[in-house]
Amino acid sequence: GSVGCVYYLGITLLAVLEVLGAVEMLLYMVEELRFPGAVRLSATVCMLTLAGMVFLGIRFVSKMGAVFGVIVVLTIASYYVGLCVAPWGDAPAELTGLSVENLRNNLKPGFDPDVS
């Protein structure tokens, strides 16, 4: 009962935050879509689209899962392609890039008994 209600509320809020993040990135990348209230309108349309997909049934959601799976795979692939084609020139000190030394320094806990 109560655990299910809390779980439902958490999943609902997660969906809202995911949609809001996606809409903000879309509006950041495509300046032509920006106008006053664009985030609210775009997020509402996206949430209604998702609700409509769920309303159509689990078979439709399963079919759309394949489409969204392809989108996820392309997103992950574009991340690694971006890592490979990124310029290696004069980057700020905060951007370490791919570094074995940085991986070693951050992989294990850095406990030092002399530091409190």
What is the C-alpha to C-alpha distance for residues 59 and 23, in angstroms, rounded to an integer?
Answer: 26
How confident is the model at residue 59, as a pLDDT? 85
- Give pLDDT tens digits along the chain (116 positions): 889 999 999 998 999 999 999 999 989 888 888 889 899 999 999 999 988 888 888 888 888 888 989 999 999 999 888 878 776 677 777 777 677 887 887 787 776 777 66
Q: Quick check: pTM over 0.75?
A: no
d(CA 19, CA 43): 6
Position 84 scores a pLDDT of 80
